[in-house]
A and B are shown apart, each in its own frame.
Chain A
Amino acid sequence: MAGHDSGTQHQFTGIKKYFNSYTLIGRRNYVLLTYGSILMIILGFKMRKPKKEVSQK
């Protein structure tokens, strides 16, 4: 649907080559980065929780 790569008209250099919202690879990397960030935030909160309980005791 809106999934086909029309990135041939865009010439990206540097980090934009791998992270952009036009090419297939760029969009995939952004999606993986978003999921990875959410996972990191959740893991960060889970790891903080036992430390808080230990300090209160």
Chain B
Amino acid sequence: MNENLFASFTTPMMMGVPIVVLIIIFPSILFPSPNRLINNRLATVQQWLIQLVSKYMLSIHNYKGQTWALMLMSLILFIGSTNLLGLLPHSFTPTTQLSMNLGMAIPLWAGTVVMGFRHKTKASLAHFLPQGTPLPLIPMLVIIETISLFIQPVALAVRLTANITAGHLLIHLIGGATLVLMNINPVTALITFIILILLTILELAVALIQAYVFTLLVSLYLHDNT
């Protein structure tokens, strides 16, 4: 039972060859590149969606921050599509792997911090001390702010990993319970099945929300440093 629960989180192999790279690349082929002035319906919907998201996400940024537009849009599309594809039965979700999420979070966070230190060194250093701090609290607060800065990429990665992994585990558990209860008590199995449907709808929402939260936080870190 325990082995079955975590089997979907192991590295996927096909005839002994790891295919995790193919799975990570796969969502990109679902997004066609618009190459005409007026495109087909799928490309038009995709363009509209990207314009809608970028309008709200990039409105807070200045010129320097808006140079990250492509990065942020790619990030939200990648995480969103990966999370949604992971809700298909028997599929592998790359965003359940902490290594992958740390691989996204740390370079992006470090990029914003380095950019901040390079272009606004004084303001970046001054950020470690909130305005109006009383004198006795200054050393402690500087240390706390430093720790909270270094916690940011870890929190980004762990938030995404935990949310997606927990959702998938819950679906496994409740789906398994529904199957077992069908022979024991069909009425309870029906209730469990309804819970499973509601949970799946929740997981659809969580998949999109987590992609948005990840990208929004990276965008906020960028805004603080530009």
A: which residues have CB within 8 A of B? Answer: 1-3, 6, 21-22, 24-25, 27-28, 30-32, 34-35, 37-38
Chain B interface residue count, Cβ-Cβ cutoff 8 angstroms: 18
Whether A34 pairs with B139 at a CB distance below 8 angstroms is: yes
In the bound complex, how far is the Cα of B126 from the Cα of A25, in angstroms? 7
Whether B142 pairs with A31 at a CB distance below 8 angstroms is: yes
Docked complex: B57-110 residues within 8 A CB-CB of A: none
Query: Main SS of the interface on chain B?
Result: helix
The chain B residue with its CB closest to the CB of A21 is B133
Please give me the 5 A-B residue pairs with the lowest Cβ-Cβ distance, nearest first.
A27-B126, A34-B142, A27-B129, A28-B125, A21-B133
In the bound complex, how far is the Cα of B138 from the Cα of A32, in angstroms? 12
- Residues in B whose Cβ lies below 8 Å from that of A34: 138-139, 142-143
Query: Main SS of the interface on chain A?
Result: helix
- Residues in A whose Cβ lies below 8 Å from that of B138: 21, 30, 34
Q: How far is the CB of B85 from chain A (nearest CB, A)?
A: 36
Whether B132 pairs with A22 at a CB distance below 8 angstroms is: yes
- Residues in A whose Cβ lies below 8 Å from that of B129: 21, 27, 30-31
B: which residues have CB within 8 A of A? Answer: 122-123, 125-135, 138-139, 142-143, 224
Contact of A24 among B122, B130, B139 (CB under 8 A): B122
In the bound complex, how far is the Cα of B224 from the Cα of A1, in angstroms? 7
Q: How far is the CB of A4 from chain B (nearest CB, A)?
A: 8
Whether B126 pairs with A31 at a CB distance below 8 angstroms is: yes
Whether A37 pairs with B139 at a CB distance below 8 angstroms is: yes
The chain A residue with its CB closest to the CB of B133 is A21
- Residues in B whose Cβ lies below 8 Å from that of A35: 142
In the bound complex, how far is the Cα of B122 from the Cα of A25, in angstroms? 7
Q: How far is the CB of B139 from chain A (nearest CB, A)?
A: 5
- Residues in B whose Cβ lies below 8 Å from that of A27: 125-126, 128-129, 131
Whether A32 pairs with B123 at a CB distance below 8 angstroms is: no
